[in-house]
Structure 1
Amino acid sequence: MDKKLDVIELFDEEGNAVKFNVVEFLDIKNPETKETNEYVIVYEDGFDEDDVIALKVDIDEDGEDLLVPIDDEEELALVQEAYDSVVID
């Protein structure tokens, strides 16, 4: 994914375009699987930066970037910890 992006446009369940401001891109290596995944931290345009959302960058069947919500609590905690270390430092 292009890490120079400041804004990402996604679509909600009704197909409406929603703009998200990019806060940070993170490459995180899972200590258990040793797999590195890419994540993007965003917040919806018009909302406060304190209301961030973490999305995982995945690849669809056409080889295009796909942003997906993180359903796994352990994975989300790993992303939160990495984000906190970047924001605090």
Structure 2
Amino acid sequence: MMDERETITLYDEEGKASEFEVLGVVTVEDNDYAILIPMDEEDEETAYIFRIDTDEDGDEVLTVVEDDEEFEKVKEAWEALCEEDFEEDYDEENLEDD
């Protein structure tokens, strides 16, 4: 069965649309952050971090994380989460092989 991945379309200042795959969401210091990778770029290693904010109408909006310290905290939290997932997957595989 094919793995359905969530995608999102973002628009730049000129109105140009870009498709992103949502890798996941991580919470750091009571803020949620979306981790996105572009679907049209050749470099699949590039990920972008956006803070999930709420606008005046109550709608969720993505805000670019420009603060280096905030970015590093989110990056570290995401890497730790990925390591935990990897370890859980590895443990499950080893249990099945026994």
Please give the TM-score of this superposition, normalised by the length of structure 2.
0.74
- 2:83 maps to what in 1? 88
Q: Which runs of 5+ in 1 are unaligned?
A: 30-35
- 1:43 maps to what in 2? 37
Structure 1 position 46, deviation (Å): 2.1
- 1:75 maps to what in 2? 70
Deviations 1:24-71 (A, max 9, x none): 111112xxxxxx000000011123431000000011111111101001
- 1:7 maps to what in 2? 7
- State the number of aligned residues: 79
**Partner Cα distance (1:26, 1:45) in 2:** 20
Return the structure number with greater strand share.
1
Deviates more, 1:66-75 or 1:45-54: 45-54
In our comparison, the structure showing a higher alpha carbon Rg is 2
Measured on the aligned residues, the alpha-carbon RMSD in Å equals 1.3
- 2:20 maps to what in 1? 20
Please give the TM-score of this superposition, normalised by the length of structure 1.
0.81
Q: Which runs of 5+ in 2 are unaligned?
A: 85-98
- 2:52 maps to what in 1? 57
Percentage of matched positions with identical amino acids: 33
